[in-house]
Amino acid sequence: MTTSTHSDDHSEPEISSTPAHPGGHGDHTDHGGGAMGGHGDHTDHGGGAMGGHGGHGGHDKHEGHSPEMFRDRLAFSVVLTVPILYFSTQIQDWFGYTAVSFTGSGLISPVMATLLYFYAGSVFLKGARRELADRLPGMMTLISVAITVAYFYSVAVSLGLDGKPFYWELATLLDVMLLGHWMEMRSVQSASRALEDLAAMVPDIAHRVGDDGSIEDVAVSSLAAGVRILVRPGEQVPADGVIVEGSSSMNEAFLTGESRPVYRTVGDEVIAGAVNGDGALTVEISRTGDATTLSQIMRLVEEAQNSRSRFQALADRAAYWLTIIAIGVSAPTFLAWLVFGGGGITFAVARTVTVLVIACPHALGLAIPLVNMNATAVSARNGILVRNREAFERGRNIEFVAFDKTGTLTEGRFVVTSVATDGLTPDEALAEAAALERASEHPLAQAVLDAAEEAGVDALGAEEVSAVPGYGVEGSVDGRRLRIGRPEWLAEMEIIPGPAISEALAAADRRGESAVVLLTERKALAVIVMADKVRDSARSAIARLRELGVTPVMITGDAEAVAAAVAEDLGLSRYHARVLPQDKARIVQELKGEGPTAFVGDGINDAPALLAADLGVAIGAGTNVAIESADLVLVNDDPADVVKALVLSRATHRKMVENLAWATGYNTVAIPLAAGVLYGVGFVLSPAVGALFMSLSTVIVSVNAMMLRKVDLGDDSEREEREATVPALSVSGRPR
């Protein structure tokens, strides 16, 4: 009477769900099609080159840069800016004080500015040289032109040229730009460690079985197809193979992210990296090295990482055109006033410097980092960790959100849904079942214990409890020998269940639910049916996505019956069942053909699908690889936070556009005024006023960015409590 959906004759490895059962149900588990079975696979991403999807690693302007480099230069620059501001005659006039005067005090600003230009400014000067070498002038070029003109003009004034120096403008320009780039680099500084974590899952040593039955420890790298190895309880499988002796439950949760153990016996395949549960296995190796399932997943992750395109940031595009405009206007301005103006070289240089200063990207440099900083603060306050800024920005266009089922839309833990009995009450059945399950750590056992506690049944004691590998546990309760475990145990013991038990098992099979049977040596006493619990917040998340015009889709390795039941519960019209790991990313790619797609998952084999999506979102309790491969991590395990992330992404993009529009738009008025187009009517912008306008634009974009904190992402007052009932898995696949 098996209700398992495990297939015995597939040519590719079945990556279904499940953690092992240390307490002893050989597979208490695979009932009804793997209610938490199999995750999909994954591929390609369209983002930038670094770390998450996109990022700055591929941007020439940051080649060889690090957050620490910008931080150190910023600290140096701020320290030297203080005396420059103090001794500036313009600052003294504005604030009504007189700086101290002593021998050599007039050299302080030139000396400090020189140190700033050649040390703090060197990062921009080198970046500009690379941009010009590539014939792609951008922000680095504009910053370099600005600080170069400001510095050399100021030094010329200090050496006798008629005019006013721009030392404080130079210093503050460097301060602001270094601050902006430091914040920018910190947000996307490291590449994904997904491949390293995957590689760490395969053990180094295997127990090779000799022809005479002897056991020898050998390096995993020396294994070949046809070699037989021993996998002891609690050990990881070193290579893909077929079981030739023994049976056990296998913990593949480190691969699939699923909470359900998979029962494996003679003739079944086991996967490299899977953790053996309670029975010793002799495995004949079928695939090693690059041919293993784990290696295939690693290859897919690597291909996805390497296939990303560069992301040309809005700020870079705006800076490019601002560079062209500023340089294109400043040179004619100088020549026009020098030849036709009548004011001499001093007036011509002043006009040119004013144009360059007023076009300096103070505001442009902070327009994006300030919005990102506030967006990050808002997201963190709402339990959303942004790993990849550029993919997060792409979230504004998302039209489809594909959810992995187990651990995402569901909690990844079992709850008892019904108890059918024959000859005793449901409470009595729960009490006896709980007595046997009390020493077990199996997820189904925990569900029975939780149900017994919730029902308030009296605790019973059990004696001589022992595991029966492949079936469950047995022991004595109140002097009666009882067993609890897989429904297949009934056939093994040649027990024909009564009508109530048979009907309950058949119904569970149709719904794809899991069931355990309580029995004596001669009779089936009860069947306890369990299912993965749908998250309460998942229902509201699906409804809110529709309100945003986004289509939710469910992707799962579970059987059709399981998927259909969950889809009906959540009101989903689109779902994909029985999706193998290698197909999950393919489905994401198909959805991307219909429109921008986000993928939400938690298992390690979700990594390529997370990378393939336009926006990869990992549940916070997922494994390290899933999180490293994701653009966003939901710290609170709440799928409703996906909606908040999309709302915040749209608001963030709107603020970026507004800031970029202001930071560049005001130049359409300010640059002509700086060039002196209204000189004929007596209106001329001085370099100092130009610097003031430039600073004012910075204040405006800063205030606008701060307004992002007031965006309404939804009411958190009714957020449900989320308590982890299934232990998170470490890279080794064992509970942390």
Structural domain boundaries of the chain?
411-533
> What angle is formed at CA 413 by the lines to CA 410 and CA 419, rounded to 5 degrees?
110
pLDDT tens digits along 167-199 = 887 888 788 778 767 765 664 443 334 455 556
Backbone torsions φ then ψ of 214, nearest 5 degrees: -70, 155
Is 411-533 a CATH 3.40.470.10 domain?
no
3-state secondary structure 646-688: HHHHHHHHHHHHHHHHHHHHCHHHHHHHHHCCCHHHCCCCCHH
Of 407 and 707, more confident = 707
**How far apart are alpha carbons 628 and 193 in whole angstroms?**
6
Helix (H) or strand (E) holding 390: helix 389-394
Token pair listed for 331? 């040179």
Residue 9 near residue 424, CB atoms below 8 Å: no
| Beta strand pairing call for 228-231 and 205-209 | antiparallel
**Res 733: pLDDT:** 31
Of 497 and 675, more confident = 497
SS3 of residue 359 by DSSP = coil
Identify whether 404 is a catalytic site residue.
yes
The active-site residue, picked from 175, 404, 558, 638, is: 404
Of 689 and 209, more confident = 209
Q: How far is CA 709 from the centre of its chain?
A: 22
pLDDT tens digits along 601-646 = 875 667 888 889 999 988 764 334 445 677 887 766 778 889 999 9
**Res 728: pLDDT:** 30
How far, CA to CA in Å, does 13 sit from each of 105, 276, 604, 710? 78, 16, 16, 50
pLDDT tens digits along 398-414 = 999 999 887 788 887 78
**How far apart are alpha carbons 408 and 155 in whole angstroms?**
62
Give the single-character DSSP code of 74: H
Token pair listed for 512? 């794809």
Of 579 and 7, more confident = 579
Range 648-669 average pLDDT: 82
Q: How far is CA 618 from the centre of its chain?
A: 5
Structure confidence at residue 656 as a pLDDT band (50, 70, 90)? confident
Range 108-122 average pLDDT: 93
Residue labelled with tokens 């007031």 = 710
**Res 299: pLDDT:** 58
Is residue 465's pLDDT more than 60? yes
**Res 308: pLDDT:** 35
Closest to 705 measured CA to CA, from 476, 372, 466: 372
pLDDT tens digits along 297-334 = 565 445 434 433 233 355 666 666 777 777 787 788 88
**Res 208: pLDDT:** 92
**Res 314: pLDDT:** 58
Structure confidence at residue 296 as a pLDDT band (50, 70, 90)? low
Backbone torsions φ then ψ of 697, nearest 5 degrees: -65, -35
Contacts of 715 (CB under 8 A, 6+ apart): none
What residue spans of 159-216 are helical by DSSP H?
Answer: 167-187, 194-199
Range 130-136 average pLDDT: 83
Is residue 119's pLDDT more than 80? yes
How far, CA to CA in Å, does 404 sit from each of 537, 600, 630? 15, 6, 14
Least confident of 384-388, 502-506, 527-531, 551-555: 384-388
**Res 138: pLDDT:** 65
**How far apart are alpha carbons 596 and 395 in whole angstroms?**
8
Structure confidence at residue 503 as a pLDDT band (50, 70, 90)? very high
**How far apart are alpha carbons 217 and 240 in whole angstroms?**
18
Structure confidence at residue 727 as a pLDDT band (50, 70, 90)? very low
How far, CA to CA in Å, does 245 sit from each of 233, 242, 263, 265? 14, 9, 14, 8
Is residue 13's pLDDT more than 80? no
**Res 627: pLDDT:** 59
SS3 of residue 373 by DSSP = helix
**Res 380: pLDDT:** 67
Token pair listed for 534? 């749908």
Of 370 and 535, more confident = 535
Q: How does the average pLDDT of the chain come out, rounded? A: 76
**Res 293: pLDDT:** 67
Range 464-475 average pLDDT: 88
pLDDT tens digits along 34-53 = 333 333 333 333 333 333 33
Is residue 719's pLDDT more than 50? no
Altogether, the residues listed in the chain come to a count of: 736
Q: Determine the angle formed by the axes of helices 687-706 and 640-665, rounding to 10 degrees.
A: 170
Residue 632 near residue 392, CB atoms below 8 Å: yes
Token pair listed for 649? 């992404």
Of 4 and 690, more confident = 690
pLDDT tens digits along 216-271 = 999 888 889 999 999 988 888 888 899 999 999 887 755 543 446 778 899 988 88
Closest to 605 measured CA to CA, from 511, 729, 442, 735: 729
Structure confidence at residue 160 as a pLDDT band (50, 70, 90)? confident
Give the rounded percent of residues in the chain with a pLDDT score beyond 90: 25
